[in-house]
Chain A
Amino acid sequence: MEAALGFIGLGSPCDISVDLDAASTRRYVNQNPTSSTLHSSTKSNNDNPLLLPLFTESETVSGKVTVSLKDGKHMQHRGIKIDFVGTIEMVYDRENSQQFTSLERLLEDPGTLTATKTYRFEFTNVEKSYDTYSGINVKLRYFLRVSIVRSQYTQDICKQVDIAVQHLVDKPLSNQEIRMEVGIEDSLHIEFVYHNSKFHLTDVVIGRIYFMLVRINLKRMELEIRKRESAGTGANVYNETETVMKFEVMDGAPVRGEVIPVRMFLGACRALTPSYRSVNNKFSVKYYLNLVLVDETDRRYFKQSEITIWRKSYQTV
């Protein structure tokens, strides 16, 4: 797009590039994972990987900025600076967006740039309290922004570089099983057990479904992972629920006494994130295991149970 703008004469007179230290040895995160493995076979442009460098909670963010002029022209400016910003953006409610972190470093006092110039920068031990998150209504981003401030009537020249942040969590102290009896009187009665209620991102859901009474002709049974994202506060809360994983656990009609094993590898679901509870009072992400039984007339019977997802190790590419 920048190239196109340059062609009609409105392009910026210079290029800005940001090179983080040790970029080649850094781990990267794909911040644009396919939304769900169920649709893995239908590829679209949106699914192009977006690789971001991964930083930990208080890791120093440093590197260098290079401003290169085009065609050997001179450029006047009113100062060059770099910001480290953490934001929570409400996609459809920008007013409620919030910067929860912002640090600024001045790279160059106002003047004229006559040649390409490189600046070092460093945000030492900068605090990054939250995980990067990219949801439907809300995004939590960390980015570096280089700005060349221009004259009053000329738009500043900016360059943003996103980084990703992930936090690891210790293994939860208690991890109770989920056990529940559900049914429809006189026609269906099942009990399901999931051995755990808390899972790390590549964990395995293990359980069993006991059919104690079956008087309806079932066709299949699925286990879904449903993700519920709540963004905003007060009256402006946006709730989105999305099925991020569908996993068939049974094909055909069981009879009374049948026990169906469940073993679902969460790692298959690239869209999975940890559960988040009221991040900076702005948003929450919850996950549910939804057991769905489908009968031969395609009627669906389901029961969902909340689970907690935690991060045991970095999700990198």
Chain B
Amino acid sequence: MVLVLAIGDFHVPHRSPGLPQRFKTLLAPGKIQYIFCTGNLSSSEIDEYLRSVSPDVHIVAGDLDSTYYPDKAIVNVGNLSFGICHGHQIIPRDSKSANEALRREMGVDVLITGNSHAVEVWQSNDGGIFVSPGSATGAYTTVNHTVSPPSFVLMDVQGSKVVTYNYILEDTGLRVARENFDSFK
């Protein structure tokens, strides 16, 4: 079993003063093998933080990150390949078919994207798994005023299977939603 954390769109300090303390407590160092970060950390502080949580961190550039990070990244875990992309490049914005196309273009089994700030996990007809971890700080998006709560997605990868856990920090408390996916390539 391999634990992979999908997280991103921190926007610290642009749109949030910091990661919720509750998340910091949850993300204790040494438990998570991989972090796939969809970008928009903004602050180098977050970069340092992620690297303190896991030894294997892959970060792609968001629309507000420095040019230091790559646009896209592909990492193999278990029998699966994971593609990471922030997603602001995707046209049209928030389109599922565009996401599917990107997955095909990248040739990966699982595509992780940010930008929408909405936590979401789904599977396409052709078996592709799509993970959108939302915003880890609950940052708002500049294109609409829906305020999404802080979230991330934790993936337990076993062979070709993925169990996802959506961690959502709502006003009423932490909510965790679990889903099973089987990648049929």
Touching chains A and B, CB distance < 8 Å: no
Q: Which residues of A contact B (CB under 8 A)?
A: none
> B interface vs A, CB < 8 Å?
none
